[in-house]
Structure 1
Amino acid sequence: MPKRVDHEQRRRQIAEAVWRVAATRGLPAATLREVAAEAGVSMRLVQYYFTTKERMLVYAFELGAKAAGERMRASFAALGHPPGPADVVRICLLELLPTDEDSLMLARVHAAYYAAALTDASLATAEAENPQHMLENLIASQLRVGQETGEVPASIDPTLEARGLAALAAGLSSTMLVGGRSAEDATALVRYHLARLFPGGRNTRR
């Protein structure tokens, strides 16, 4: 009886090989041949699933975004209680920082994609549709909820604060990747801004 193939698992195997190549050698090195070698499969198999390099890279990027979302959902589940606005904002920001092996890999991959998107139109489109705007919208909505419950000062602008926080996390992540700031310093900066937005101090601890 022929062995049943899990096609989605095959695609993920190839995409994770893209991540490893991109994280260590940059996205230009992620050719079909190099990715096939990293994944331990034939180049013909990679072409079977993705046809072109561009499709492979876009799929790997989208899978990376999903992986980041899965990490956040796991952090929410670990709270042991329904997350409040401060919980949501804190977790969304801190999960973007490369503080462990998995988040470091995802941050390096995203940095590699961002650099390549400067000269590659297909990747620029993928970057334009990245979760950054979704993150900003989510944070803004939670700040508005916090204002309604009295946890967040009514004087702040949720939209502008959300944009600033998302940019802060992205900048801290980039700086950490090149050794310019430690995880402790980056986490302290995030907590400083959370304490300003949630002055009551509720749910601002990791």
Structure 2
Amino acid sequence: MPKLVDHEERRAQIIDALLRAAADTGLHAVTMRSVALEAGISVRLVQYYFDTKEQLLLAALNRLTARMGERVRDRVRRTGTAPSPRDIVEAVLLEAVPTDEESRIFHLVHTEYAVLSITDPALGGQQFLAAPAEMEAFLVGHLAAARQAGETDPRMDARQEAVVLMAVSAGLGLSVLLGQRTADEATAVLHYQLGQLFPARE
């Protein structure tokens, strides 16, 4: 009896192959053939699941975004049964620092997507910006909750601080990718920044 094919598993296999190939050679150099080679399958099979390279790129971007959310939730769960607003904010920001191979690939490829989306309309600039916009709104909500709970300066502007924190964490993540500083050094900077915002915890 022929083995049944799990189509979702096959799609995930192809997407993961694209991400590995992009981490090795750059997103711009990825082709359907190079993805097939990385996945150990035929080009025709890749094309069966994804008609075009653009479809594959968008599917991989969605997978990156979903996996980032999973990692943040895992980090929050590790803080305990009742995480504070600071715990949640810290979990989000620390995931912007590449600390292992999976997060290194995520941030490297995600940065390439950001650059490519500027000149490639097929990637959809608005779609690419949706996840960061949701993350910003998420941070604003938890910073406002922290202010309400008296954990921050009552004059703190939650939206402005969210923008600053996202910019700092993204910049630190890039500096780690470039080898400008280590993941531990970047993490220490984030902890310092959070200490300024949440002095009651220091």
In the alignment, what sits opposite 1:176? Answer: 176
**Mean Cα displacement is larger for which, 40-49 or 179-188?**
179-188
In the alignment, what sits opposite 2:133? Answer: 133
- Matched residue SS, 1:180: coil
Rounded to whole Å, the distance in 1 between the matches of 2:139 and 2:80 is 21
Any gaps of 5 or more consecutive residues in structure 2? none
Amino acid at match of 2:23: A
**Count of matched residue positions in the alignment of Structure 1 and Structure 2:** 201
- Structure 1 residue 115: Cα displacement: 2.4
In the alignment, what sits opposite 2:105? Answer: 105
Rounded to whole Å, the distance in 2 between the matches of 1:16 and 1:141 is 33
Rounded to whole Å, the distance in 2 between the matches of 1:101 and 1:48 is 29
In the alignment, what sits opposite 1:195? Answer: 195
- Matched residue SS, 2:185: helix
Over the matched positions of the two proteins, sequence identity in percent amounts to: 42
TM-score by length of 2: 0.95
In the alignment, what sits opposite 2:64? Answer: 64
**Mean Cα displacement is larger for which, 115-124 or 91-100?**
115-124
Rounded to whole Å, the distance in 1 between the matches of 2:188 and 2:142 is 21
Amino acid at match of 1:38: E
Rounded to whole Å, the distance in 2 between the matches of 1:70 and 1:143 is 21
Deviations 1:25-61 (A, max 9, x none): 1112211111011111111111111111000000001
CA RMSD between the two structures:
1.3
Rounded to whole Å, the distance in 2 between the matches of 1:6 and 1:77 is 30
Where in structure 2 are the equivalents of 1:77-156 lying within 5 Å?
A: 77-125=77-125, 126-129=127-130, 131-156=131-156
- Structure 1 residue 117: Cα displacement: 1.8
